Structure 1
Amino acid sequence: MQYFIRIVALASLVAASTEAVAQQPRRPAPNYQVRGQLTNAPAGTRVLLIDDQTGQAMPIDSARTDAKGRFQLRGTVAGPGVYSLRVAGQRRTTDVALAPGSQLQLRADATQLRGTSDITGTPEAAELARMHQEQFRLMAHIDTLVQRRAVTTDTAALRRIGQEWDATFGAFRAAAQRVAGQASYVAPYVAATFLSGTDAPAEVAFLDSATTRYVRQWPASPHTQQLQRYQSMRQTTAVGRLAPEILLPTPAGAPLALSSLRGKYVLIDFWASWCGPCRQENPALVRTYQQFRGKGFEIYGVSVDSKKEAWLAAMQKDGLPWPQVRDEPSDTSVASTAYNIYKFPSSFLLDPQGRIIAKDLRGEDLTKKLAELMP
């Protein structure tokens, strides 16, 4: 009898265990794969795939390289999107277009991911990789132009540099428009990343039309939603509108209001210590400031640095003499809300009444505009 009871009890336990296992949620089967090979990545180097589409960096997969720099990422994504690939110990990342069913192959230099990533496997992933390579080449050329401008005083030479600068950006933006015009889930990302923040009538019209299409095709894309916010907020900072108030702490900790500078022409300069183009532009901006400061010109520098120490060090190294405040990055920061800024540097030129009269003037263009306003 006792033997029978033990058998029944054991059978009940097995049945209960089986039922518990059956009730446990099953992990979804992997629906993407990224096979990669990196140079300058010793064995054991960690590679991470990060979902930062909503503004919060969430690692969704990771792997380690073997002795030949090879790695493999396999996991699940809910839908098509653009994800970040990061190599541990490296500051720069690159973006990867992934969708359920993607089987990608990646080759890159671990120390220069964005500029060297060659990705194949889907048209979207390959197109996005080419965009990043083009962006990398663009910024390298812009660095060269900045260096040439820093040591040039000849007016004609400066004008040629400015023309080359405009042509370089123009060619890149034309390439970005081509990709943004495609029926691809990468299109909203390209438009939001490379084309937003402009007031050129033709580009504004393109973005308005593209965003309307994205709302129909990719309404859940965070980049579509970003572009919708951009459309709405662009009206707030349109030329002719009163610049939204800014009240942020100076290096000493005391708040400084933008409106306190009324009565002068003011350039609001959004920048950061980590922003290469910002730092390269600073010497020219210092010269412009010194030229027009005595005529009623002021700069209101807004740093978007997360670390105060980095901000202060950059200010000292670059010799920035104008008022500075810090807009610590967050979902409610001035840069991301009131001014809808997603690229740096960005600037707004205000008249003495605080109205926006121009945007993103740099170098010779800024000097020429100020000379017109304050002869």
Structure 2
Amino acid sequence: MKLKFLCLLALPLMLNTANAQTKKGFVINGQLANLQDGANVYLFSHNIETNKTDTISKAVASKGAFKLTGSVAAPELHYLVIQNLRGGFPFFVENNNLTLKGNVDSLGKIAVTGSKSQDDLASVNSKLSALGNEMNALYPAFQEAKKANDTAKMDEINKKADAIQVQQQNVVKDFAATHPASYASPYVVMVNIRGLDPAVYQPIYDKFSANVKQSTFGKQLNKSLVVLAKTAIGKPAPEFTGKTPDGKDLALKDVVSKGKITMIDFWASWCGPCRAENPNVVKLYQQYHEKGFNVIGVSLDRDADKWEKAIADDNLTWNHVSDLKFWSSEFAALYGVQAVPATFLLDAKGIIIGKNLRGEKLAEKLAELLGPAQ
């Protein structure tokens, strides 16, 4: 089904700016049902550049209530964490009186008042959530159609899924375009749009306010747009050299030189959608390798044993490299990859001719380029 599940980069939850907002600071009054007396309540930030987490404020709960105080240079996305509870609640903090109300058993449903940036985020998330529910509702019907081998019904559901995906993208695009001064805008784009199209989002970014451009997510969005402009269709694929499972160096140019079409496949052993797509790539590799189709897998693993086991288990007989740096992979950064699987199709000269082709679309493209499958 075209409902493409992805393994997404978990973006650090901090906006780290030097733009002055106000000097009065913030006061956060929280009231959470089932919050134990004496539990420590923390407000954390995460610096995206140093990858360090800092405690911005701390309080001790009493009768379900707590009070956090401090100041931020500009609206920032921080993380509420409760002692002995897994996970937490990200929300935009700004220098104002904020209130948090909810239940510790469902931190994701905490209601926030007093933060304009959080209001903006909540408004767009509400629309995306509704569309997400529509998408999820299609899955059972698709599974039934697949079980019955009802291809007409499957195509019908796929068309509905495609339409919902377009709506989701339009919600994000329209929000960012109509909220150029909102600190939530670059964050919403970064979190929800895979494979940013610079032609679409560069003009939107250009109209952001100066302060928003200087926010951490504003900077990250700009950085991604610059990288993606360099990896657009028609551009030469950025060169890299990585270590193979047996510790040897392998350069992209060496793989490209041995075939007519090369696919760079960003994946990971821990990525369910990647593993689900692997049988399709195996099949196409077997059909088209003799015609000049090569693959170089670039893994975002961090455990060499798990990486090598997945290669063997999935029968991935093509070239593989990894720096074993997980989401800090230098190769992923070079190509602006923030979700896997991600693919780049190159011609014999190393020019990018396709991106993120999977399933039937990849098969159709290979047939177009190399002729009928063997």
Counterpart-to-counterpart distance in 2, 1:309 and 1:93: 31
Question: Contact (CA 8 Å) 1:81, 1:186: kept in 2 or not?
Answer: no
Among residues 323, 328, 331, which one is paired with 1:334 in the alignment?
Answer: 331
Question: Contact (CA 8 Å) 2:45, 2:53: kept in 1 or not?
Answer: yes
Among residues 135, 138, 155, which one is paired with 2:132 in the alignment?
Answer: 138
- Which residue of 2 is the match for residue 363 of structure 1? 359
- Which residue of 2 is the match for residue 240 of structure 1? 234
Question: Contact (CA 8 Å) 1:32, 1:77: kept in 2 or not?
Answer: no
CA 1:102–1:299 in 2, change beyond 3 Å: closer, same or farther? farther
Q: Is the counterpart of residue 311 in structure 1 residue 307 in structure 2?
A: yes
- Which residue of 2 is the match for residue 75 of structure 1? 70
Distance apart, 1:117 and its partner CA: 5.1
Among residues 219, 223, 236, which one is paired with 1:225 in the alignment?
Answer: 219
Counterpart-to-counterpart distance in 1, 2:208 and 2:164: 27
Among residues 189, 192, 202, which one is paired with 1:194 in the alignment?
Answer: 192
Q: Single out whichever of 130-139 and 313-322 deviates more from structure 2.
A: 130-139
Question: Contact (CA 8 Å) 1:145, 1:165: kept in 2 or not?
Answer: no
Counterpart-to-counterpart distance in 2, 1:332 and 1:251: 16
Pair member with larger Rg:
1
Q: Is the counterpart of residue 122 in structure 1 residue 115 in structure 2?
A: yes
Question: Contact (CA 8 Å) 2:227, 2:335: kept in 1 or not?
Answer: yes
State TM-score, norm by structure 2: 0.73
Q: Map 1:315-326 onto structure 2 (within 5 A).
A: 315-316=311-312, 318-326=314-322
Q: How many residues of Structure 1 are paired with residues of Structure 2 in the alignment?
A: 340
- Structure 2: state its 5+ residue gaps: 1-22
Distance apart, 1:100 and its partner CA: 1.3
1:214 partner SS:
coil
- The amino acid of 2:119's aligned partner reads A
Distance apart, 1:132 and its partner CA: 5.2
- Which residue of 1 is the match for residue 26 of structure 2? 31
Q: Is the counterpart of residue 97 in structure 1 residue 92 in structure 2?
A: yes
- Which residue of 1 is the match for residue 369 of structure 2? 373
- Which residue of 1 is the match for residue 20 of structure 2? none
CA 1:70–1:83 in 2, change beyond 3 Å: closer, same or farther? same
1:240 partner SS:
coil
> Aligned-pair RMSD on alpha carbons?
3.9
Q: Single out whichever of 348-357 and 126-135 deviates more from structure 2.
A: 126-135
State TM-score, norm by structure 1: 0.73
1:235 partner SS:
helix
Q: Single out whichever of 327-336 and 353-362 deviates more from structure 2.
A: 327-336
Question: Contact (CA 8 Å) 1:265, 1:352: kept in 2 or not?
Answer: yes
Q: Map 1:145-184 onto structure 2 (within 5 A).
A: 148=143, 155-181=151-177, 182=179, 183-184=181-182
Q: Percent identity?
A: 31
Question: Contact (CA 8 Å) 1:104, 1:120: kept in 2 or not?
Answer: yes
Question: Contact (CA 8 Å) 1:271, 1:344: kept in 2 or not?
Answer: yes
- The amino acid of 1:334's aligned partner reads F
Q: Is the counterpart of residue 59 in structure 1 residue 34 in structure 2?
A: no
CA 1:33–1:169 in 2, change beyond 3 Å: closer, same or farther? same
Question: Contact (CA 8 Å) 2:59, 2:68: kept in 1 or not?
Answer: no
CA 1:355–1:36 in 2, change beyond 3 Å: closer, same or farther? farther
1:335 partner SS:
helix
Distance apart, 1:257 and its partner CA: 1.6
- The amino acid of 1:369's aligned partner reads K
Distance apart, 1:356 and its partner CA: 0.4
Q: Single out whichever of 144-153 and 218-227 deviates more from structure 2.
A: 144-153
- The amino acid of 1:222's aligned partner reads T
Distance apart, 1:372 and its partner CA: 1.4
Q: Which has the higher contact order (CA 8 A, sep 6+)?
A: 2
Question: Contact (CA 8 Å) 2:57, 2:70: kept in 1 or not?
Answer: no
Distance apart, 1:62 and its partner CA: 6.3
2:208 partner SS:
helix
Counterpart-to-counterpart distance in 2, 1:293 and 1:90: 50
Q: Single out whichever of 348-357 and 309-318 deviates more from structure 2.
A: 309-318
CA distances 1:206-253 after superposition (whole Å, capped 9, x unpaired): 412221122534232122222222332233212112211121112222
Question: Contact (CA 8 Å) 2:44, 2:55: kept in 1 or not?
Answer: yes
CA 1:141–1:352 in 2, change beyond 3 Å: closer, same or farther? farther
Question: Contact (CA 8 Å) 1:159, 1:364: kept in 2 or not?
Answer: no
CA distances 1:334-369 after superposition (whole Å, capped 9, x unpaired): 211x21223333221112222100111122222221
CA 1:106–1:252 in 2, change beyond 3 Å: closer, same or farther? farther
Question: Contact (CA 8 Å) 2:29, 2:65: kept in 1 or not?
Answer: no
Among residues 250, 255, 274, which one is paired with 1:256 in the alignment?
Answer: 250
- Which residue of 2 is the match for residue 8 of structure 1? none
